[in-house]
Amino acid sequence: MVSVLAPEAQVVGRLTAGLQVAVVNGPEQVVVSGSPGELDAFVAACEGDGVQVRRIAVDYASHSPQVEELRDELLDVLAPIEPRAGQVPLFSTVTGDVIDTGVMDAEYWFTNLRQTVRFDAALKGLLGAGHRVFVESSPHPVLVGAVSQAAEGEGVSGVTAVGTLRRNEGGSARLLQSLAEVFVAGLAVDWSPWVAGGRLVELPTYAFQRRRHWLPAGRSVVDAAGLGLRPAGHPLLGAAV
């Protein structure tokens, strides 16, 4: 699998028979998967044309025709899943729309693994529904940039996108900073789990000293002649000069 920083239409134009667009995260964030040999040629062609590409450290080609070989096995393994309707609306990256989670059975999850992940479509739906704060729960933010890019492309302002943890920053301090970011953006945050037994208090106010930090204005003692000014010799302006 390879990550490509280019619009989907341009990526599709570069694909050969054994490759497929695996994921579309944003206007210029696409993932391609498929045959290793064809991926090598794809990467070389992109680099030759100055298109930024990066290999993803996986040894399988999700969201490609290769998944078809596992269809029967996956459906068997996932058969015990008994989905039910949830209480929180879910925008599916399979359909791009809100779905009833009661349909998320074995067939749904196979489809999820086989076809292109349309995070971009789900994100567009979320923005259209009025959502403006996005939190990526992961060990390192990957989609935050896609959210910001999509919002800009849709002409939507006031969008905040944050992660939770970061690479080499997996402690509570990093998580608290992320919570602070969404709090500053206007989202209500329950701080009580962090300060057990604590209570809200008013911040103290401080009296202003009201002291100037610049010189007071006064009469100039500069000689005008010292600035290069001379009588103009004009009958009307002479006195003024």
| Section 225-230 average pLDDT | 62
Q: Is 114 contained in some domain?
A: no
Instruction: Dump pLDDT digits (tens) for 157-173.
Output: 999 999 999 999 999 99
Q: Which domain holds residue 172?
A: 132-196
Count of C-beta atoms within a 10 Å radius of residue 60: 10
In-domain check, residue 161: yes
Residue 164 within a domain: yes
CA pair distance 38, 44, nearest whole angstrom: 10
Residue 233 included in any domain = no
Domain count, the chain: 1
Question: Which tens digit of pLDDT belongs to each residue from 12-71?
Answer: 999 999 999 999 999 999 999 999 999 999 999 999 999 999 999 888 899 998 999 999
Q: Is residue 8 part of a domain?
A: no
* Inside any domain, residue 221: no
Bigger pLDDT: 218 or 234? 218
User: Is residue 144 assigned to a domain?
Assistant: yes
Phi (first) and psi of residue 99, to 5 degrees: -125, 160
In this structure, are residues 143 and 119 in contact, taking their beta carbons and an 8 Å threshold? yes
7 is written with which tokens?
């619009």
In this predicted structure, the answer to whether residue 228 has a pLDDT above a threshold of 70 is no
With respect to residue 89, please indicate whether it lies within any of the assigned structural domains.
no
